[in-house]
Amino acid sequence: MNEFKDKDLLEEVAAIKNINAAFVEKDWYAVQVLKKVHEFSYPGFDIIFSGGTALSKAHNIIQRFSEDVDFRIQTHLLEEQSKNQQRKILSDFKNAVITHLKTEFNIDDDKIAAKDSNHFFSVELDYPTLFSQSIALRPHLLIEFRLSNLFLEAQVFSVSSFVNELSHKSPEVLNIACTNSIEIATDKFSALLWRIPQREEDIKNNVENPDDRNIVRHLHDLYFLNNTVINYPDFKTLLTYTIQADDNRAKSIAGLEMKEKFNIVLNILKNDKKYPDEYDRFVKGMSYAIGSLPEYDNTVATFELLCKYISE
pLDDT per position as a tens digit, 230-242? 999 999 999 999 9
Q: Give dist(CA 30, CA 27) in Å, integer.
A: 5
pLDDT in tens, 151-195: 999 999 999 999 999 999 999 999 999 999 999 999 999 999 999
CATH 3.30.460 fits 7-179, yes or no: yes
> Residue 247 has what pLDDT?
95
> Residue 135 has what pLDDT?
59
Residue 252's alpha-carbon distances to 27, 194, 197, 206, in angstroms, are: 37, 9, 7, 16
Taking residue 144's Cβ as centre, other Cβ atoms within 10 Å add up to 16
Region 120-149: mean pLDDT is: 87
Confidence of residue 67 (pLDDT cuts 50, 70, 90): confident
> Residue 182 has what pLDDT?
97
Q: Is the separation of the CB atoms in 35 and 139 below 8 Å?
A: no
pLDDT in tens, 276-289: 999 998 888 888 88
Q: Is the separation of the CB atoms in 243 and 253 below 8 Å?
A: no
- Which residue, 1, 122, 130, is CA-closest to 68? 122
Residues of the chain above pLDDT 90, percent: 85
Region 293-299: mean pLDDT is: 96
Q: Where are the domains of the chain?
A: 7-179, 182-311
As a residue count, the chain comes to 312
Q: Give dist(CA 101, CA 250) in Å, integer.
A: 33
pLDDT in tens, 244-266: 999 999 999 999 999 999 999 99
pTM: 0.93
> Residue 134 has what pLDDT?
66
Q: Is the pLDDT of residue 290 over 90?
A: no
Q: Is the pLDDT of residue 76 over 80?
A: yes
> Residue 168 has what pLDDT?
96
